[in-house]
């Protein structure tokens, strides 16, 4: 159970080994490995590259079937490929597993230089640190400037950080179902999820046995999170108060299913590290505030949200849109926050519009 580890099939992953990475909150990682996937061919001048940023429990496998090394199929199927909105006959598309993750990039479940798992020794990382690692990947790939950086939810944070920190390297920005800074509501739900993981007796301060991970705590965290990902409208329409033949509420069975799916492919330590990176997110930190930071953006931008999103409500995207002087594009969906993954046709239309410009 858990994330990808050395010795597992690599699937479609490629790897880049980096030297020491100095971190925003202090300290450093003496070595970092980045797992990534690519689709299409990079133009000789490097001018056709698009970066996709995954969300909390995503990874580099944007599209493609499940198989050895990939426990699930692509998480944004329909978006990338020949004739798709990100047409790989034209664009060179890249997605990397995030720093602190558990699908090939260095995280708490990875081996430290002493040969033991990082575990509780893994340092705090921020969105800025994660983008720093992606900059090194772009340099190694020969990408001096992204035609577009695309991200939703936690991925939207990294996309926005790219556009603010390195405006000269971002031609287009697609900012979707995210915010410019964490809210008290988001921090509250995410620290509750962390508490669920940490109270599992198998957590052991983060230094748990890889053969006996804290799956009960991680499963509870996923249930809490999933309720914020979907809308009350959808849950009432699909499940309401219905009780199954086994005596369980249907909605409870649904949440159990999603918890079981996650613990089979994700690492509890990464879950804590990444939700803490989300908690500390503030694009305006050290830049004079959010609006001052956003004034640095020079990319052609689409800002979009999901009309029923209760985790990243449209007001958060409206703030970004207003600061950048662009309209907020609302996607109607009954699916809440997860609409950014489900409504692929609407997302693809907006992305195509951005790329056509």
How far apart, in whole angstroms, are the C-alpha atoms of residue 351 and residue 86? 8
3-state SS class at 38: strand
Mean pLDDT over the full length of the chain:
97
Angle between helices 215-229 and 268-279 (to 10 degrees): 40
Mark whether 309 is an active-site residue.
yes
Q: For residue 1, is pLDDT > 80?
A: no
CA distance 80 to 64: 9
Query: Are the C-beta atoms of residues 45 and 145 closer than 8 Å to each other?
Result: no
Q: Are strands 32-39 and 14-18 parallel, antiparallel or unpaired?
A: antiparallel
Active site residue 270: no
Listing DSSP states for 220-269 in one string gives: HHHHHHHHHHS-HHHHHHHTTT-B-TTS-BHHHHHHHHHHHHHHTT--HH
Helix segments in the chain, DSSP class H? 127-141, 154-165, 184-198, 215-229, 232-238, 250-263, 268-279, 290-294, 314-324, 339-342, 344-356
User: Position of tokens 């053969």?
Assistant: 211
Please tell me which residue in 54, 70, 226, 337 is annotated as part of the active site: 337
C-beta separation of 138 from 36 below 8 A: no
Distance (Å, whole) CA 133 – CA 123: 15
Counted residue by residue, the chain has a size of 357
CB 98 within 8 A of CB 105: yes
Backbone angles phi, psi at 93, to 5 degrees: -105, 135
pLDDT in tens, 225-254: 999 999 999 999 999 999 999 999 999 999
Start-to-end CA distance of the chain, whole Å, equals: 44
- Please list, residue by residue across 290-300, b when 16 or more beta carbons sit within 10 angstroms of its beta carbon and e when fewer do: beebbeebebb
pLDDT above 90: residue 301: yes
Single out the residue of 97, 307, 294, 122 nearest to residue 206, CA to CA: 122
Interval 142-173: pLDDT, tens: 999 999 999 999 999 999 999 999 999 999 99
* Among 178, 164, 172, 309, CA closest to 232: 309
Q: Which of 60, 110, 153, 270 is catalytic?
A: 153
Is 30 an active-site residue?
A: no
pLDDT of residue 43: 97
pLDDT for the residue 88: 98
pLDDT-derived band at 201 (thresholds 50, 70, 90) equals very high
User: pLDDT band at residue 357, thresholds of 50, 70 and 90?
Assistant: confident
Residue 273, pLDDT above cutoff 70 = yes
Strand pairing class (172-176; 14-18): unpaired
Among 59, 129, 282, 309, the one annotated catalytic: 309
């Amino acid at each position: 159970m858990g994330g990808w580890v050395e010795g597992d099939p690599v699937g479609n992953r490629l790897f880049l080994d980096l030297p020491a990475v100095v971190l925003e909150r202090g300290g450093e990682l003496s070595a970092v490995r980045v797992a990534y996937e690519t689709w299409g061919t990079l133009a000789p001048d490097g001018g056709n590259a698009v970066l996709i940023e995954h969300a909390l429990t995503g990874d580099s496998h944007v599209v493609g079937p499940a198989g050895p090394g990939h426990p699930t199929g692509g998480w944004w199927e329909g978006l990338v490929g020949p004739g798709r909105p990100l047409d790989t006959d034209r664009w060179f598309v890249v997605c990397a597993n995030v720093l602190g993750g558990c699908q090939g990039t260095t995280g708490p479940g990875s081996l430290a230089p002493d040969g033991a798992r990082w575990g509780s020794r893994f340092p705090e990382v921020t969105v800025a640190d994660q983008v720093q690692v992606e900059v090194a990947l772009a340099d190694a790939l020969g990408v001096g400037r992204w035609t577009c950086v695309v991200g939703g939810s936690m991925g939207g944070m990294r996309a926005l950080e790219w556009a603010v920190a390195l405006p000269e390297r971002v031609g287009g920005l697609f900012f979707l179902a995210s915010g410019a800074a964490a809210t008290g509501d988001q921090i509250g739900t995410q620290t509750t999820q962390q508490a669920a993981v940490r109270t599992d007796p198998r957590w052991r301060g983060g230094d748990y046995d890889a053969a006996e991970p804290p799956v009960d705590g991680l499963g509870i965290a996923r249930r809490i999170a999933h309720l914020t990902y979907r809308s009350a409208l959808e849950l009432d329409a699909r499940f309401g108060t219905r009780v199954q033949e086994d005596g369980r509420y249907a909605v409870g069975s649904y949440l159990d299913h999603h918890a079981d799916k996650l613990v089979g492919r994700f690492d509890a330590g990464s879950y804590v590290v990444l939700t803490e990176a989300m908690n500390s997110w503030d694009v305006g930190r050290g830049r004079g505030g959010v609006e001052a930071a956003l004034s640095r953006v020079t990319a052609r931008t689409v800002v979009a949200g999901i009309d029923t999103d209760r985790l990243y409500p449209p007001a958060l995207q409206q703030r970004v849109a207003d600061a950048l002087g662009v309209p907020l594009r609302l996607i109607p969906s009954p699916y809440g926050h997860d609409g950014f993954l489900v409504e692929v046709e609407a997302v693809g239309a907006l992305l195509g519009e951005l790329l056509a410009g």
